[in-house]
A = this chain, B = another copy of it.
Amino acid sequence: MTSEEIKIEVLEMGKKARAASHGLAKLSTDEKNAILHAMADGLMAAEATILEENAKDIAAAEENGLTSAMIDRLKLDPESLAAVATGIRDVANLHDPVGELLKEWSRPNGLRIQKRRVPIGVIGIIFESRPNVTADAAVLCFKTGNATILRGGKEAIHSNRAIADALQAGGAKAGLPDASVQLIPFTERESVQHMAEMDKYLDLIIPRGGAGLIEAVVSMARMPVIKHYDGICHVFIDKNADLEMGVNVAMNSKIQKPSVCNALETLLIHRDVAEEFSPRIAEVLMAKNVELRGDETFQKLAGIDGVVPATEEDWKTEYLDYILAVKVVDDIDAAINHINTYGSKHSDCIITEDEVAAVQFMNEIDSSVVFWNASTRFNDGAEFGFGAEIGISTDKLHARGPMALEELTSYKYLAFGTGQLK
């Protein structure tokens, strides 16, 4: 395809998505839920095709020498596909926020005003390898009345196409408007640029992937972008901490699932308890094969061999691995200052029995979720009771923290008059 042909096709998809969004906004909750079940049915009905197409991606991946971990992420089988379908049915069971009355009041002139949730419109999702994202993202956007344009990585192009086709075809049987779920069917990089520039048709872009992808989208996009950047998460052991709780929360935050954005990356210890706490935490973490990178004081106090000296770089690093940076700080102000300097405003926790310290920490740490005596791993849509989530937003506008169905809506005002003039 020529550059011009790609641009024309992407714009045409945008136009169709905009038209679809008008139809989607009119669907009732029951209609949407029926369509979601039909999408799940469509996915199961297309199982053979999807697995065949997936096999093409796997063959290409093997030919191109992708690592086995990458190939694992690409691979679909009857079981994983059934799980995707079950996930769609679960979304049908979630509360529909569209239409919800957020506020209602009357003005002295008798004008009655309502603020109600509405769909955002058309959402672009740009993602990397895993083909199940196609379905997950599309159905969350659909449940909230939004059309989607999906742009997946080239490694999963056959699988993604088959899944998007199955969702659209299945949904259509229950009344899904044409072009509600569209996948960009080619993999030239420039399609991302065309998406990023068509603010007439796309109301929001959500890049799901590494920092490189997000950066690229941010630098090109003319519409809002909701970003899911790094989590450089902290646990601070205060001088009045219950130290056993501190050990348990730090351990859980670090090793329950080290590869995710809400996992602990830097542990801060108040000087007054460092002598007692440092060897305790060092022992249990090293027993779990966590590499510790400590400042000078921690190296001295840990009382165990193998603590690596931490460098400035460690305070800024999201390891996503069995590695933990550890620092002893003079007081709570130093802890807050460290987090506000090096943190990524994601998930930070204080362990303390002192309410005054907890309130100060919770007020002065500017993160999407600030925890008092609980694991940072709870920064999660399901754990918050939101059902499914599209990610953890590291932005401060529109959506912050767990981004679920409500965050996929906008609002409008309805003003009921009796002929009022200004």
**Chain A positions near chain B (C-beta within 8 angstroms):** 22, 25-26, 105, 107, 111, 113, 118, 120-121, 199, 203-204, 218-219, 222, 224, 242, 245, 248-249, 252, 256, 340, 362-364, 366-375, 377-380, 383-385, 395-398, 400-401, 410-422
Cβ–Cβ contact B368 & A413, under 8 A: yes
Cβ–Cβ contact B219 & A22, under 8 A: no
Which residue from chain B places its CB closest to the CB of A113 in the assembled complex? B384
Residues of B within 8 A of A218 (CB): 199, 222
- Answer whether A412 and B370 are a contact pair too, CB < 8 Å, given A107-B385, A422-B383: yes
CB-defined A-B contacts under 8 Å, sample of 22:
A22-B340, A22-B366, A26-B363, A26-B364, A121-B396, A204-B396, A224-B395, A242-B419, A249-B419, A367-B412, A369-B412, A369-B414, A369-B415, A372-B416, A372-B417, A373-B416, A374-B418, A377-B421, A378-B422, A397-B398, A397-B410, A400-B412
A372 contact from B204, B363, B375, B414, Cβ within 8 A: B414
- Answer whether A366 and B422 are a contact pair too, CB < 8 Å, given A107-B385, A120-B396, A374-B111: no
Copies in the complex: 2
In whole angstroms, how far apart are the Cα atoms of A421 and B375 in the complex?
Answer: 5
Further 13 A-B residue pairs, CB within 8 A, beyond A374-B416, A375-B420: A111-B374, A118-B366, A224-B397, A245-B419, A256-B422, A362-B414, A369-B412, A369-B413, A375-B417, A377-B421, A378-B417, A396-B410, A401-B412
Residues of B within 8 A of A416 (CB): 372-374
Majority secondary structure, A binding face: mixed
CB distance from A100 to the nearest CB of B (A): 13
CB distance from A213 to the nearest CB of B (A): 15
Cβ–Cβ contact A411 & B400, under 8 A: yes
Cβ–Cβ contact A397 & B249, under 8 A: no
Cβ–Cβ contact A371 & B422, under 8 A: no
Which of A105, A245, A372, A422 has the most chain B CB atoms closer than 10 A to its own CB?
Answer: A422
CB distance from A94 to the nearest CB of B (A): 16
| 3 pairs of A and B residues whose beta carbons are closest in the complex | A374-B417, A377-B422, A252-B421
In whole angstroms, how far apart are the Cα atoms of A396 and B34 in the complex?
Answer: 27
- Answer whether A252 and B422 are a contact pair too, CB < 8 Å, given A224-B397, A367-B412, A397-B410: yes
A249 contact from B26, B203, B256, B421, Cβ within 8 A: B421
- Answer whether A222 and B222 are a contact pair too, CB < 8 Å, given A378-B420, A400-B411: no
In whole angstroms, how far apart are the Cα atoms of A102 and B340 in the complex?
Answer: 24
A415 contact from B118, B204, B378, Cβ within 8 A: B378
Which residue from chain B places its CB closest to the CB of A218 in the assembled complex? B222
